[in-house]
Amino acid sequence: MADLIFGGKYNLLEKPTYRYMPGVIETSNVRISALLQAPTLRYDRLDKALFPKSIAARNVFVRFVSKILRDTLKVDRTGKKDFFAVLSSAKDPETGADTVATATTGLFFYLSRNPAAYARATTEIRQTFSSIEDVRMGPKLNSCKYLRACVDETMRMSPSVGSSLLREVQKGGAMVDGEFILAGCDVGTPIYSIQHSAEDFSNPFTFCPERWIVAESGATQESVALASSAYVPSSSGPRGCVEKGMAMTEMMLTMAVVLYRLDLKIAKGDSAGGNPDAEWDRHQPNEFQLKDHVTAARDGPMLHFRERAI
């Protein structure tokens, strides 16, 4: 994302220098998440006393962003095609890499625990592309319908932002589902709850990519349309995520490259799923465990990868 937006490479995969940044973002978001639910914590700076680690992490993140901007402005921007260059030169400036990471790790989780889905997605990719150089944006990638269904099902099961995206009721109040809501109240339904509604999804806690493909596993045009109407991992309407198209492309490309080049399996000691002995809703071994810190915080999955045999 740093490369795409700022034209700079920070190489978290190749070098350990900046690998602390994902943890810093997550720690900072703990405070932000609490403030979204309880804004009164700002009074008398109570949040400063309650979340000192989050504030320290925020300061580290701000310093990192400042470094990115300094590095960006040091180089000649002439001819640059990154997002920063486009926005900087825009005449009308009015107007989530972390969420993509959650969705991608979630997809690794579900494929590693669903052998049939993993085998089908892998076969689709390896039959569609003739070489690793062949894996790129375009008609071939768009034709990988089953991989796309796996991505959609992952984002339904484990949305990167699973909590309520609240809206404030305006003057005069509002009727919501037959209930009158007073002006000034914040109203919302968690995305996680919407996407696990049994009224819209059969077996809502089961990973089933086939639910998105007409004529597979009982899916009909009507059932796919109903599921699509309740599928809002990026929110919807004018407040929906403006990057969802780019995020989808990023996930599809990433998974296509990985599935073409590598075989994967669960590593010993992986604990990214629920525990049958844990509290309710943390008890399902086949559900990727997330924590609501504005965007979803996660730990794992831990997997083994190896070069595929050709």
Q: Is residue 16 part of a domain?
A: yes
Cα gap 188→235, rounded to integer Å: 11
Per the CB < 8 A criterion, the answer to whether 234 and 195 are in contact is no
Q: Is 123 helix (H, G, I), strand (E, B) or coil?
A: helix
- Model confidence band, residue 239 (pLDDT cutoffs 50, 70, 90): low
What is the structure's pLDDT at 79? 61
Q: What's the pLDDT at 260?
A: 94
pLDDT higher than 70, residue 14: yes
pLDDT band at 25 (very low <50, low <70, confident <90, very high): confident
Helix (H) or strand (E) holding 111: helix 97-113
CA atoms within 13 A of residue 252's CA, in its CB half-sphere: 23
| Dist CA 23 CA 164 (whole Å) | 23
Q: Is residue 306 in a domain? A: no
- In the structure, what pLDDT confidence band is assigned to residue 300 with cuts at 50, 70 and 90? confident
Domain contains 283: no
Task: Give the range of the structural domain holding residue 21, as residue numbers without chain letter.
Answer: 1-95
Phi/psi region, residue 74 (left: phi>0; alpha: psi -120 to 50; beta: rest), is alpha
Tokens standing for residue 25: 């973002």
Q: What domain count does the chain have? A: 1
pLDDT at residue 50 greater than cutoff 70? yes
Structure tokens belonging to residue 144: 């990988």
In a domain, 269, yes or no: no
pLDDT at site 203: 92
Residue in the block written with tokens 């993140």: 61
Backbone angles phi, psi at 30, to 5 degrees: -60, -45
Please indicate, yes or no, if residue 81 is contained in any of the structural domains: yes
Q: Is the residue at 60 inside a domain?
A: yes
Distance between CA 184 and CA 172 in Å, rounded?
9
State which of 110-124, 177-191, 216-230, 272-286 shows the largest mean pLDDT: 110-124
In a domain, 84, yes or no: yes
Whether residue 155 is contained in a domain is answered as no
